[in-house]
Structure 1
């Protein structure tokens, strides 16, 4: 049996560039009341079975909250139909339906009445609502004096205690301490076991995977993926990693362009007016007998990449030029966390890749291939260097480059060890 049916729903919003504030302005400037149309949902169809829990996920502005507001009846679709079977309770915004001058107790009666409970039913559930909200003596205070966490506790307590057939939740569980968040999650699981249909919008993918039977990924007003939580979340995280990679590369290109403009401006200045002592890079040193003039981070197809998934390959290219001939140079790399904890370091000598000589005016590339990036989620810094056998630096770039790593799993820490778990009976 279907509890929620969404068929061909489209919703468009008008974003006005200039909005008239008075009737006179509307009459005089009617041709200037211009707007852009924003397509929040584009021909979306979705069915949710009774008693199932469905998560809606996507980036900000993708249409998740708009769909939830359509399900509650706060908004109406421009096209398409929505059918809801059963009593609906929603928790979309903190304190929605609360009167700021009423006490918590008075707002329970008012809000629960809006959700369809009679006074007798509210009286029967009142103590349970107050107990779950953990507000205690504050229940007699006006809610305008409540913190956002207190608002959320009261609103959530009312929403779940009305025992709805369909419960709609939009990202409000992010408010409150860890203990209350876990309490809310336990209550949602209890409602789920009792047959309540739950539609859940959140950016907490861990909660999404734990709670939901099915996850729907919405992007730019369309359903991109609809399936099992783990599979859908993995695809979503891969998409986010690729989007982050595009953003980082764009930022890098913009930064490089800005630096080129600055360099051109400096070169146009008079040589006499320049102070060479100011041309110092605190994160780079060495005598420049061998100079690393460019560093590239690439994927397995050797395309520029700055955002990786754990266990993806990482290729690092060091482009060098030789200003003075050197014997037995050593190239090296180091990877650090954003707070400068050393994760890994190696060089050509450690890995027994020996270079006998670099001749003057020679140019070339050193390629470091890392088949699998066993790092946890986070931002990492990269150092690169070239020096002689005694450690005298030709060119050292100290944590001048960065890249990001995302993980499809929930391990914590810096590295991924990929353990195997076994169970054996008896003593080992």
Structure 2
């Protein structure tokens, strides 16, 4: 049975290029405001069967959240149609359907009534909602005193307790502490076993693969591919790695100019605004990643050998030099960091231009997207050039382990 039927759906937004602020401007420029059309979705069609858990993946701005909002009827398509059968419960953004001046309990009644429950039904479910949210101590306080994590706990608790036929979730599982995230995922698994239909938008590909029967990959408002979650997610990761590689190639053209001419003062100021700092007496002009076949790539398999190649230019002779790297998750958790001083590598007799190589025998990371920091500084930490999160790479894995790193291990059962 089809519960969600999306047929040839397109959604247009009109973006105003100028804003007339004063009454005089409004009168003078009336009817002449500059604007342009932005199509968030282009001819999208899909059908979601009862009992299926479907994930929507894609880069920011690909149309995932717009499609989910159309499914909730918060907005309507410009072209095409969407047919929904059954009670819909949604968590689209923190605070939607809540009022900050009301207490937690008052917001439970208000939000649950919006989702279709009667007062009698809410009375019966109230204790279950409060217990799941773990907000007993704060439930009589106004929501303006809640943190974003507490907001999410309350919203999720209401949404799952209205007994929906269809549950729509947009990225809210990324908010809150780890234990509550796990609790939410376990609850979604339970709803899935009960035959509920779930549609999720998330950038957590590992969670999507665990939860979803299928995923739909959107890019620039169009469906690129849909089907088995693991297959489509792997193709999506390959696509992102290729795009990131193209971005790095574009950076390399600029870096070649930097190597020959050095950075101008304006370039330095612009780059310092984007997580880069240092006096540039020694300048890092690029990073490349290679696999064990000496092929430049930004997509690896967990456990694979990796070589990092950092280019530098020395504008002023220095003997006090330390090179360093760090690898972080996409949400900023540091996985590993080291430098030549920590590893007892003495850096001396540097040429005016050169390359630093770091060989990693086994990339012991689980599947996901990672950011690389590169740095060169003095022993006391004074930065020559420090670049944070400028480079990305992907890790894929056939094993569904969890956490950050992959520990080499074996099981012995006696």
Q: Same fold (TM over 0.5)?
A: yes
Report matched runs for 1:107-118 at 5 Å.
Answer: 107-118=107-118
Match of 1:309 among 300, 307, 311: 300
Q: Distance in 2 between matches of 1:315 and 1:204?
A: 26
Q: CA RMSD in A?
A: 3.8
Q: Which runs of 5+ in 2 are unaligned?
A: 266-278, 312-322, 328-336, 344-356, 376-385
Retained in 2: the 8 A contact 1:91–1:159?
Answer: yes
**1:144-173 residue CA offsets vs partner (Å, 9 max, x unmatched):** 111111111111111110000111000001
Alignment of 1:137-152 (within 5 A): 137-152=137-152
Residue 104 (structure 1) aligns with: 104
Residue in structure 2 matching 1:375, options 363, 366, 373:
363
Aligned with 1:41: secondary structure? strand
Classify 1:413/1:170 alpha carbon distance in 2 versus 1 (closer, same or farther; 3 Å): closer
Q: CA deviation at 1:32?
A: 3.8
Please, which runs of 5 or more residues in structure 1 have no aligned partner?
266-277, 284-293, 320-333, 346-367, 384-398
User: Judging changes above 3 Å, is the alpha-carbon distance between structure 1 residues 130 and 258 closer, same or farther for their aligned structure 2 residues?
Assistant: same
Alignment correspondent of 1:407: 395
Match for residue 234 of structure 1? Answer: 234
Contact 1:17 1:36 in 2 (8 A): yes
Q: How does 1:289-300 map to 2 (within 5 A)?
A: none
After TM superposition, the structure 1 = structure 2 runs for residues 27-426 of structure 1, keeping only pairs within 5 Å, are 27-30=27-30, 32-262=32-262, 281=282, 305=296, 307-310=298-301, 338=327, 339-340=337-338, 374-377=362-365, 378=370, 405-409=393-397
Question: Is the 1:9–1:43 Cα contact (8 Å) retained in structure 2?
Answer: yes
CA separation in 2, counterparts of 1:74 and 1:211?
Answer: 25
d(CA) in 2 for partners of 1:413, 1:121:
42
* Contact in 2 for aligned 1:209/1:230 (Cα 8 Å): yes
**Secondary structure of residue in 2 paired with 1:340:** strand
Report the equivalent of 1:287: none
Q: Matches of 1:162 and 1:97 in 2, distance apart?
A: 14
Aligned partner of residue 69 in structure 1, secondary structure:
helix
Deviation at 1:92, TM superposition (A): 0.4
Check 1:164–1:295 CA distance in 2 against 1; reply closer, same or farther (3 A cut).
Answer: closer
1:403 positional shift? 7.1
Deviation at 1:415, TM superposition (A): 7.6
Counterparts of 1:243 and 1:254, CA distance in 2: 17
Report the Cα distance in structure 2 between the residues aligned to 1:42 and 1:86, rounded to whole angstroms. 26
Change (3 A) 1:12 1:111: same
User: In 2, are the aligned partners of 1:374 and 1:416 still within 8 Å (CA)?
Assistant: no
1:335–1:380 contact (8 Å) kept in structure 2: no
CA distance, structure 2, for counterparts of residue 139 and residue 9 of structure 1: 41
| Matching residue of 1:17 | 17
Q: Distance in 2 between matches of 1:279 and 1:167?
A: 52
Corresponding residue SS for 2:51: coil
Which secondary structure does the structure 2 equivalent of 1:140 belong to?
Answer: coil
Relative distance call for 1:309 and 1:403 in structure 2 (3 A) is: farther
Number of aligned residue pairs: 345
The CA distance in 2 between the partners of 1:4 and 1:128, in whole Å, is: 29
Cα deviation code 1:375-404 (max 9, x no counterpart): 245567999xxxxxxxxxxxxxxx99x975
1: distance between equivalents of 2:175 and 2:106? 23
Q: Output the TM-score relative to the length of structure 1.
A: 0.70
Structure 1, residues 257-307: CA drift from partner, whole Å, max 9, x if none?
A: 234333899xxxxxxxxxxxx997599xxxxxxxxxx9976679988x352
